[in-house]
Amino acid sequence: MSQSTRVIPAAVVAALLGGGVAATTVEVIDGGRSGKTTTVVQQTPLSSIPDVRNAAAGSQGLTARDVYKRDAPGVVYIKSDVVQRTQSSPFDFGMPQTEQGTATGSGFVIDQAGEVLTNAHVVANAVKITVQLADKKTVNAKVIGKDTSSDLALLKIDPDGLNLKPLELGSSKTAQVGDPVIAIGNPFGLDRTLTTGVVSALQRQIQAPNGFAIDNVIQTDAAINPGNSGGPLIDATGRVIGINSQIETGNGTSGGNVGIGFAVPIDTAKRILPQLQKSGKVDRAYLGITSLTVDGSLASLNLPVSSGALVQSVQSGSPAEKAGIRAGDLSATIGGNDLVLGGDIITAVDGRPVRSSDDLAGVIGSKKSGTKIKVTLQRGKRKTTVDVTLAAQPSNSPDTGG
């Protein structure tokens, strides 16, 4: 009796099963004297993009199982013993009180020296941090660098005697809407849980724990829940393209996933890692204004320019105030939004065009404190340029803006 084997992609079988997950199945066909046929179901690769690390072997991308097998050992479970100050009462004689608790999250190993990348909010106010590895070993960790403005933190564990599996960092710049992605983390304490999805959108903006904006954020529908924070968002070749940080919970109170998650781009982390490793913090510049993008939605205002950043407010004592940049003094409601009109419109910085508030935030964010810049303004019908010496970004945003 002879036997033949037929290979069918798992995606096809899953469709036939109404969307169920199919890994392996055997189908026996009664062929009489001709024998039987065994049907083997294999997972379809997440992408047709070749895995260049295995190009010699002719690899045409990785399955979710492949990515998990390769990268899950590098994902860690983080527990932080935290102490927070609470409001004092008259019975406390004016002395602030403290409250103890435990915060949990995820992270991932980035090198053999024992450095672990996670979210800053996972280790905020921590007095003790432990990291559990894939082999269930638990070790103490310390924060060697933290940047609340990007919600990133760099931890260090002693690598001696540990079998560390660093994850490979990719590039968020190459991500495209529709690309398959995988999230690995510890939602609700369930260690090394894998979820799959796609890149739902790019260049989103979320708010950092200190109130400043995080730009170029990746949106994904891969299920992310409390405990996933700090874990990797991985592309189809097994490389990290983002750090899972926030979820949109809708109007519910469960705090669970509704299909909208956000990841800080890995390129942001790669850019600030050298500063975190060297000094433990990131030197960011600060202008001290809030602004509104000038675009077609404001056409009815007959502004002197069609694009730029309209200054809404100027922080007292800020570099902007010292340079003479002016905020508006007229209130108006346009499209349901409360605006302040009459202020300067920033159109360029050091000759580089500024077409929106995001443009302004991006160029200021690329500078260091103490840097001198030339800001081009449209002040009514007159164009002018002022010199500004940028300050260090404060620990918390006085308001939303640059």
Read off the CATH number of the domain in which 338 is found. Answer: 2.30.42.10
Alpha-carbon Rg for the chain, nearest whole angstrom, is: 26
Of the candidates 312, 319, 370, 369, the residue with the CA atom closest to the CA atom of residue 344: 312
Q: How many CB atoms lie within 10 A of CB 235?
A: 26
- Taking the C-alpha atoms of residue 66 and residue 237, their distance in angstroms, rounded to an integer, is 9
pLDDT at residue 126 tops 60: yes
Does 350 participate in catalysis according to the annotation?
no
pLDDT at 46: 62
Does 121 participate in catalysis according to the annotation?
yes
pLDDT at 8: 39
pLDDT at 283: 85
Instruction: Please check whether residues 371 and 296 belong to one and the same domain.
Output: yes
In sequence order, the 6+-apart residues with CB closer than 8 A to the CB of 99 are 83, 84, 85, 86
Model confidence pLDDT, tens digit, residues 339-370: 778 899 999 999 999 998 878 887 887 888 99
For 25, phi and psi rounded to 5 degrees? -145, 155
Structural domain contains residue 166: no
Please give the helix or strand (H or E) that residue 144 lies within, else none: strand 138-147
Spot the catalytic one: 151, 179, 221, 344. 151
For 78, phi and psi rounded to 5 degrees? -110, 130
Q: How many CA atoms lie within 13 A of 34 on its CB side?
A: 6
Instruction: Please check whether residues 210 and 131 belong to one and the same domain.
Output: no
pLDDT at residue 304 tops 70: yes
Structural domain contains residue 208: yes
Instruction: Please check whether residues 306 and 270 belong to one and the same domain.
Output: no
In sequence order, the 6+-apart residues with CB closer than 8 A to the CB of 42 are 7, 8, 9, 10, 24
Model confidence pLDDT, tens digit, residues 283-299: 888 899 888 888 887 87
- Taking the C-alpha atoms of residue 207 and residue 189, their distance in angstroms, rounded to an integer, is 25
Q: Which domain does 36 fall in, by range? A: 1-44
pLDDT at residue 56 tops 80: no
Does 81 participate in catalysis according to the annotation?
no
Read off the CATH number of the domain in which 204 is found. Answer: 2.40.10.10
Name which residue leads in pLDDT, 347 or 90. 347
The type of residue at 398 is P
Instruction: Please check whether residues 131 and 214 belong to one and the same domain.
Output: no
DSSP for residue 169: B
Structural domain contains residue 2: yes
Instruction: Please check whether residues 196 and 265 belong to one and the same domain.
Output: yes
Q: How many CB atoms lie within 10 A of CB 347?
A: 22
Spot the catalytic one: 51, 71, 121, 397. 121
CB 196 within 8 A of CB 180: yes
Based on the structure, what is the number of domains in the chain? 4
Spot the catalytic one: 106, 200, 229, 245. 229
In sequence order, the 6+-apart residues with CB closer than 8 A to the CB of 7 are 39, 40, 41, 42
Instruction: Please check whether residues 274 and 299 belong to one and the same domain.
Output: no
Structural domain contains residue 250: yes
